Amino acid sequence: MRKRIFEIMQISKKDDAPSMAFDIVLVLVIFTNIAAMFLQTFSSLSAYNDVFEVIELVTVGFFCVEYILRILTADYLYPKKSRGRAMIRFLFSFDGVVDLLTIIPAFFLSGFVAFRLLRVVRIFHLFRINSQYDSFNVIKTVL
């Protein structure tokens, strides 16, 4: 089961519908999170701050689940390492650090806008996805 979770979360192949769906959902969650964060900065939209906070909570929850699943399946990403070493390797990898830094502000540093802006770095996931197939065309099709 862990292997299948890993396969779904990795960059999808065109014949793997659950993995493609995950990629699309991930892209939409990233953009939704960034849009909510951006819209919160407008004082004219302050009446919707509760909605933006709920969106942020849900999307950060998604990021947390994804992060935990990536840690738990790290031994498939680094097959030559033991499970523990693979987990540590993921935690200190670029993706692992970026993922952690995008989650932490929601719990501890909510007042620090600079840390919240690190979520924009999650767009790098789009480039990873885009290396396999044109994710921006997928987004266009979804919209």
CB under 8 A, 24+ apart: contacts of 96-103:
96/67, 96/70, 96/71, 98/122, 98/124, 99/63, 99/66, 99/67, 99/70, 100/67, 102/63, 103/60, 103/63, 103/64, 103/67
Domains contained in the chain, number: 1
54-94 tens-digit pLDDT:
998 999 899 999 999 999 999 999 999 999 999 999 999 98
26-48 tens-digit pLDDT:
889 988 988 888 898 888 998 99
Range of the domain at 126: 2-9+17-142
The pLDDT value given to residue 98? 79
Q: What pTM was estimated for this model as a whole?
A: 0.77
